[in-house]
A and B are shown apart, each in its own frame.
Chain A
């Protein structure tokens, strides 16, 4: 092989080198993007707007029935996590009661999930305030954990199709509560 031949070979090598570099760089860049994506996914709470709300069944404390979230499909549901030792939770209860009277007939349901340990304290509070919406007791904290409740109160507003419309961390005002109820009103009542 003469000098010219070697030069040709090296030229070919150069093209190969470009291909090689392109492949290596692509692998590295794609890996980096994938890592960033996975990392981003991890940061986000799993339960957010658009995600289906996990089903649960709990005994109602205000009656002898059970309540299951999935059976409420077709209604807009507010799941409110509260406790008797949480002062802001107790303050928003009257707002919920007031709006419940108004919106119950339009297809809005409220489930108040107490995360207290002892049910006596819940009964005492419930009777004192004359609340009429369903009340359940999450004694072992399983629902609280599944719904990633932090802090108290946390409220989930669930669409008639079972997907989460809005997650509210912290206390609510009457006005905000009403506007969120309107977001999850079943369609036939909206017009």
Chain B
């Protein structure tokens, strides 16, 4: 135990550089802040004992000291920054937008660097265990660094005495020495400082004038904000605080709302796509050089249903309407804590209806039928015993090595084989593809033509629930308060030290020395006290 008793009587912790009470440099510790080589004392943390620099005994102390080092903290932040930056080079796994598994996707798409990216785990960086650990270590460093600095700083500022040691005063950056001063001079000086909102403490003729001490707490307030943000991001990992899902709903379709545990259904009543009017005077100038129309609105009109009673998967639940509204870009529809955001469109990409007109050889109409790709109707009555029957249907037609097939279940490019039969006709087959009807046999009794088609839009909606945002807001607000507190206010101190009939004046501030100089200059007006000089420039 090497507590150090200063000649002023104050007992300082081991590792103290400047006595907490009188500021006298403590012998043997001056190397810590590099005071050996400089005339001006290093005033950071008031020369208090940072515990990180001392006690290294138990594992707890060693761990503590490791995290208490600002150097370690800066390294952790640098590593996290570099890793986070690398993670943005290629898309993350959830955004790769490909059916290929990740093990193939990155190599095929980006070559060797992509392969390395994948193998090092950067494709899933932000939830990877080591990245999360890195962020957690930064959090630990933040807490411990703050505790280890705010406590000694608080103690030092609380214990400081107006009466300082001569060496402390002489070795301040701002210093002057006046041979002859009157009491009036000192009084004027003090009153002027008081007017500038300095708080004056007097002790045996020694004076301390101090203002804006609270600005010293800025960094720690800022760190509290950061810690709250970290806590908010932990909360965000839990489903009760935050969920996010994505669903494609086609016009007319009703779908389960993802992430709601099958509790909500959403129906796309209608999708509205609008563009800026080229004839509108207001837009003509802007649209002059635009080759394509510029969209002005993507909108889904939806109905939200809640299930009345939970049913076994696969059964149709009874639904109850709970919300209805229009979803536009950045104008979500909110229901029971969930918000549905417009975020994707497959504009008029799927057929909802394809209708055919059937005529006989003489050009007389026999009938019409409407094929709806998502309905299961196989046969259509044309009247007078004429019938159409769907034989094969390929929602998104393609030819594979196994013959005709479909690329997906969505009717984006339907191929249909159907047969028309009538009272005296055996059955004639036709093939529909690309809005064209081709007979599959040579002599045809019928004339089949395409009557009409109807396209629908698939709307992509993000379903989001986020109760963690208020916590982020609180954290960010405290963070900003801390920044402002530390940046826009400055902790300024002036000491008056009478010594053998002389008056020593010293000044210190944590930033903006020019401001302190102006304060002192203005306060010394009409006195004979010497203006302080900046001693740092001498070295």
Contact = CB atoms under 8 A, between A and B. Distances in A.
Q: Do these two chains really belong together in a complex?
A: yes
Interface of A: 3, 6-7, 10-11, 14, 17-18, 21-22, 24-25, 28-29, 31-32, 35-36, 38-40, 42-43, 54-58, 68, 83-85, 87, 90, 115-121, 124, 136, 138, 140-143, 145-146, 151
Nearest to B238: A38
B256 A140 contact: yes
Contact of A142 (B99, B256, B393): B256
Nearest to B375: A118
B384 interface: no
A48 B390 CA distance: 41
Interface residues of B, number: 58
B3 interface: yes
Given A3-B5, A117-B410, A120-B393, A146 B376 contact: no
Q: Which 9 A-B pairs have the closest CB atoms?
A: A56-B313, A85-B406, A32-B136, A56-B314, A58-B314, A119-B376, A117-B409, A28-B140, A57-B312
27 contacts: A3-B11, A7-B3, A11-B1, A14-B1, A14-B55, A17-B51, A18-B60, A22-B60, A24-B147, A25-B63, A31-B136, A32-B133, A32-B137, A40-B129, A42-B127, A57-B314, A83-B409, A85-B409, A116-B409, A118-B395, A121-B394, A121-B406, A136-B314, A142-B262, A142-B314, A143-B314, A146-B313
Interface of B: 1, 3, 5, 11, 13, 51, 55, 58, 60-61, 63-64, 99, 124, 127, 129, 132-133, 136-137, 139-140, 143-144, 147, 234, 237-238, 254-256, 258, 262, 312-315, 373-376, 378, 390-396, 400, 402, 405-411
Nearest to A119: B376
A124 B129 contact: no
A115 B409 contact: yes
A136 B313 CA distance: 13
Contacts of B133: 32, 36
B405 A87 contact: yes
A145 B256 contact: yes
A25 B60 contact: yes
Contact of B99 (A25, A32, A151): A151
A55 B132 CA distance: 36
Nearest to B99: A151
Contacts of B129: 36, 39-40
